[in-house]
Chains A and B, each alone.
Chain A
Amino acid sequence: MTLLKVENLTVEFPSRRGTLTAIEDVCLTVAPGEILGMVGESGAGKSMTGAAIIGLIEPPGRIARGQILLNGSRIDNLGREDMRRVRGRQIGAIFQDPLTSLNPVLTVGEQLIETIQTHLKLSRSAARERAIDWLRRVGIPAPEKRVDTYPHQYSGGMRQRVVIALALCAEPRLIIADEPTTALDVSVQAQIIALLRKLCKETGASVILVTHDMGVIAETADRVAVMYAGRVIEVGAVADVLRAPRHPYTAGLMASIPRIGEKPDILPQIDGAMPRLNARPEGCAFNPRCPKRMEVCARLRPDLVADAQGEVACHLFSKELAT
């Protein structure tokens, strides 16, 4: 049983100088109650994948190929109004910066009540009760009073709690959390992640957690998907991918995490930079930087292939070439 199934999702941005492909043939599945971590460098397509799932790709971007299925039915081809009903009610979203995610001129309560009443048939007073209840659940002290205050009267961490309450208040089945802790103090990050995990366990919601913080992934996610240059290149259980990465890029990513206690003169890194959208190389996009490059890599793009340990898109693991 899968809650979300993304198949060969491709998002393109037509421009005057030709079409740019932001993400290409992305395949993902999310099981009910599961937390899927999504990692990769900036520009790898993590946020774009999230935006495509929730149907909020900025024009002129568009889904060129593939489909997105939620509970077995397609949501990528829904009309504006139908998709609006899915957002918030079926799929919730949390964005990076809690300081700018809340409307400064409306009280926290007004924003919560509005969201609740948009999706659930509740009277204003019942919606208000529910709003206060949600503030309590996300750990806002004295929620009966705080419900009538404005976002600027909250600290950053408190605002992100409000954002979580707003994303969850209509009880969506899937939450897309796009770098939910990046803008927060380190001391607050762990609390927010723990809160998110606890609430999703309570409501049974699944989470796609987009981040480049490996520590957060290790602690929180069940499975992890690694993205590079618009493609998913490796998927697997967190323990497997973190301990025994198979794709050379994932291996490089893991090796570049500094370890406490070691003081190397030079921090390990992957040489080179991720190719720009309009300059992706032939074959495997990672091949110019790859330490294990083979002749085939510059020619043929490897597909994401599933085996017993997960999925990986690398010729090193392609069965045809191994034989």
Chain B
Amino acid sequence: MLGFLIRRIIQAIIVMLAVALIAFMMFRFMGDPVSSMVPEHATEQERAEVRERLGLDQPLFVQYGRFVARAATGDFGLSWRNARPVSTLLAERFPATAELVLVAAALSLVVGIPLGIYTALRPNSFNAQMLQFLSLVGISLPTFVTGILLILVFSVWLGWLPSFGRGEVVDIGWWSTGFITASGLKALILPSIMLCLFQLTLIMRLVRAEMMEVLRTDYIKFARARGLRDRAINFRHALRNTLIPVITIFGLQLGGLIAFAIITETVFQWPGMGALFIQAVNFGDVPVMAAYLVLVSFIFVVINTSVDLLYASIDPRLRVDDAGPAGGGH
């Protein structure tokens, strides 16, 4: 198990170094940074001074090494737009995105898994067929369309829920939360529905397909032949085997939620990291873009590594520290 853990962590580090390289290259794509920092009439000597001060005269791999070393401590330099540290900007925006993603992820699991089980157990019922059809709509409709439709119905026509912003937030240390105010919670509803809809339908369809597959296996047949109760067969025997692949996909999709949050945050003017990123793109604010890229990748890698570790706790066959098929013969 320890060897497995170390192997996974080394892999994660390699992935992060590659991502950092891409983020680092972004600075180059924007042209010579020095020319955007010095006055237009600066002399060659002044330019050289700036270049030397910023370390831009060093070989590329030295610059890259410095970038990685600084990034590892959370230092991404100053935003070109408002000259504040990028790490502060991200830290301010992080709670908004985190809360949105958390609620959306929870919703997609809490609703998606039971619906998937229901449609797998009663595949021919009217409700199940209806859900299958609706899920097809959910999976194929672009999220910004559903977001705008939600705003139209619940904010414009019914006037029940706010169409933008986070509502009232309360600061707990550096974390600003919308979980403990009524307006904060109300503001969360529409964006989290929009964000979770795709994952929810995906999880529902995945659970359904996996569960129907598992229900056809020999061990389920044998469990029935032993006269076990339906509840035990469906939930104890079938569900656990169903959830193994569901966890992988969910882990991957959790990263996707963070990425998709960009669109949701734009539609609902949600003050999160995604909105910050869009602003940064508009202004060509490379340090913010680079930092966002590295941070999101880091979250992806952490989630995927955790999912791999979580497997072992669900599927005993993956516990490498267990003894394999023990001796003793037949």
Q: Which A residues fall within an 8 A CB radius of B?
A: 54, 56, 84-89, 92-93, 95, 97, 100-107, 114-115, 118-119, 141, 146, 149-150, 152-158, 163, 166-167, 170, 185, 187-188, 191
At the interface with chain A, which of B56-64, B166-174, B223-231? B223-231
Measured in the bound complex, the distance between the Cα atoms of B314 and A105 in whole Å is: 7
Task: Jot down 7 A-B pairs with beta carbons below 8 A, ordered by A.
Answer: A87-B224, A103-B219, A105-B241, A115-B228, A152-B316, A153-B326, A163-B222
Residues of A contacting B228 with CB < 8 Å?
84, 88, 114-115, 118
Residues of A contacting B240 with CB < 8 Å?
105-106
Q: Which B residue's beta carbon lies closest to that of A185?
A: B330
Chain A proximity mask over B315-328: 1 for CB below 8 Å, otherwise 0: 11100001111101
Q: What's the least CB distance linking A37 to chain B, in Å?
A: 20
A191 touches B226 (CB 8 A): no
A84 touches B229 (CB 8 A): yes
Residues of B contacting A101 with CB < 8 Å?
218-219, 221-222
Q: Which of A100, A119, A156, A157 contacts B227 (CB 8 A)?
A: A119
Q: What's the least CB distance linking A50 to chain B, in Å?
A: 10
Measured in the bound complex, the distance between the Cα atoms of B329 and A188 in whole Å is: 10
A97 touches B315 (CB 8 A): no
B224 touches A56 (CB 8 A): yes
Measured in the bound complex, the distance between the Cα atoms of B315 and A150 in whole Å is: 10
Residues of B contacting A146 with CB < 8 Å?
326
A152 touches B227 (CB 8 A): no
Q: Which of A92, A152, A185, A188 contacts B226 (CB 8 A)?
A: A92
Given contacts A101-B221, A146-B326, A149-B326, 16 further A-B contacts (CB under 8 A): A87-B226, A88-B226, A95-B218, A101-B218, A102-B219, A102-B222, A114-B232, A118-B226, A118-B228, A119-B227, A150-B322, A153-B324, A153-B326, A155-B325, A155-B330, A191-B330
Known contacts A114-B236, A155-B325; A88/B225 CB under 8 A: yes
Q: B217 an interface residue at 8 Å Cβ cutoff?
A: yes
Q: Which of A54, A153, A158 contacts B323 (CB 8 A)?
A: A153
Q: What's the least CB distance linking B9 to chain A, in Å?
A: 26
Chain A proximity mask over B287-330: 1 for CB below 8 Å, otherwise 0: 00000000000000000000000000011110000111110111
A158 touches B330 (CB 8 A): yes
Q: B237 an interface residue at 8 Å Cβ cutoff?
A: yes
Residues of A contacting B241 with CB < 8 Å?
103-105
A104 touches B219 (CB 8 A): yes
Residues of A contacting B330 with CB < 8 Å?
155-158, 185, 187-188, 191
Residues of B contacting A87 with CB < 8 Å?
224-227
Q: Which B residues fall within an 8 A CB radius of A?
A: 217-219, 221-230, 232, 236-237, 240-241, 244, 314-317, 322-326, 328-330
Measured in the bound complex, the distance between the Cα atoms of B228 and A163 in whole Å is: 15
Measured in the bound complex, the distance between the Cα atoms of B315 and A228 in whole Å is: 43
Q: What's the least CB distance linking A91 to chain B, in Å?
A: 8
A104 touches B227 (CB 8 A): no
Known contacts A152-B325, A154-B325; A95/B227 CB under 8 A: no
Measured in the bound complex, the distance between the Cα atoms of B230 and A95 in whole Å is: 20
Q: Which of A85, A107, A115, A185 has the most CB of B within 10 A?
A: A115
Residues of A contacting B222 with CB < 8 Å?
93, 95, 101-102, 163, 166
Measured in the bound complex, the distance between the Cα atoms of B241 and A105 in whole Å is: 7
Residues of A contacting B217 with CB < 8 Å?
100
Measured in the bound complex, the distance between the Cα atoms of B224 and A54 in whole Å is: 10
Measured in the bound complex, the distance between the Cα atoms of B170 and A283 in whole Å is: 86
Cβ-closest 9 pairs across A and B = A88-B227, A157-B330, A87-B227, A93-B225, A100-B218, A88-B226, A150-B316, A101-B222, A103-B219
Residues of A contacting B323 with CB < 8 Å?
153
Residues of B contacting A114 with CB < 8 Å?
228, 232, 236
Measured in the bound complex, the distance between the Cα atoms of B328 and A135 in whole Å is: 14
Measured in the bound complex, the distance between the Cα atoms of B226 and A170 in whole Å is: 9
Measured in the bound complex, the distance between the Cα atoms of B240 and A274 in whole Å is: 41
Measured in the bound complex, the distance between the Cα atoms of B226 and A157 in whole Å is: 20
Q: Which A residue's beta carbon lies closest to that of B232?
A: A114
Residues of A contacting B325 with CB < 8 Å?
152-155
Measured in the bound complex, the distance between the Cα atoms of B227 and A92 in whole Å is: 9
Q: Which of A103, A118, A119 has the most CB of B within 10 A?
A: A103
Q: What's the least CB distance linking B135 to chain A, in Å?
A: 25
B227 touches A106 (CB 8 A): no
Residues of A contacting B236 with CB < 8 Å?
106, 114
Q: Which of A103, A152, A153 contacts B223 (CB 8 A)?
A: A103
Residues of A contacting B232 with CB < 8 Å?
114, 118
Measured in the bound complex, the distance between the Cα atoms of B330 and A185 in whole Å is: 10
B315 touches A104 (CB 8 A): yes
A95 touches B225 (CB 8 A): yes
Q: What's the least CB distance linking A135 to chain B, in Å?
A: 12
Q: Which A residue's beta carbon lies closest to that of B239?
A: A105
Measured in the bound complex, the distance between the Cα atoms of B325 and A202 in whole Å is: 30
Q: Which B residue's beta carbon lies closest to that of A54?
A: B225
B328 touches A152 (CB 8 A): no
